[in-house]
């Protein structure tokens, strides 16, 4: 009889300890979920900002016109670079303008990349 009372008390104590541990773990998981949710929202906002900076609406504009611009894209594509140093600057500007016409905001992006310092 004494053994069964001790066994009951030990079982209740073990059960109580287990429930306390589960409760603490639940609080930890709940905090982690809230933190993760906040981070995902923050990343989504940053992605939205990047899309706007890079002209994310250009594709929608083209889709509204059936995927076609005012001029066929092939007709506005710059010629292949001939390799002459004198024509580099003009060719580079033509390519940047073409890319900007195909993907709105690309020229701004390319200018920013061009200003970056190398490693």
Number of domains observed in the structure of the chain: 2
Tell me what percent of the chain is helix, strand and coil, each rounded to the nearest 5. 75, 0, 25
Q: How far apart are CA 23 and CA 16, in angstroms?
A: 11
pLDDT at 24: 92
**pTM of the predicted structure, to 2 decimals:** 0.38
DSSP state of 70: S
At 10-22, the pLDDT tens digits run: 788 888 888 999 9
Residue 36 placed within a domain: yes
Residue 118 placed within a domain: yes
Residue 58 placed within a domain: no
Residue 61 placed within a domain: no
Task: List, in order, residues 6 or more apart from 107 with CB less than 8 Å away.
Answer: 96, 97, 99, 100
Domain that holds residue 46: 1-53
Residue 62 placed within a domain: no
At 31-78, the pLDDT tens digits run: 988 888 888 888 888 888 887 776 655 555 555 555 555 666 666 788
């Amino acid at each position: 009889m004494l053994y069964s009372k001790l066994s009951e008390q030990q079982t209740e104590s073990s059960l109580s300890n287990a429930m306390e541990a589960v409760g603490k773990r639940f609080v930890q998981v709940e905090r982690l979920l809230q933190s993760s949710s906040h981070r995902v929202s923050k990343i989504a906002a940053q992605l939205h900002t990047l899309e706007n900076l890079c002209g994310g609406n250009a594709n929608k504009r083209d889709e509204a016109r059936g995927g076609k611009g005012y001029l066929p894209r092939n007709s506005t594509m710059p010629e292949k670079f001939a390799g002459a140093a004198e024509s580099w600057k003009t060719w580079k500007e033509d390519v940047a303008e073409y890319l900007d016409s195909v993907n709105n905001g690309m020229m701004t992006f390319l200018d920013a990349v061009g200003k970056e310092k190398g490693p």
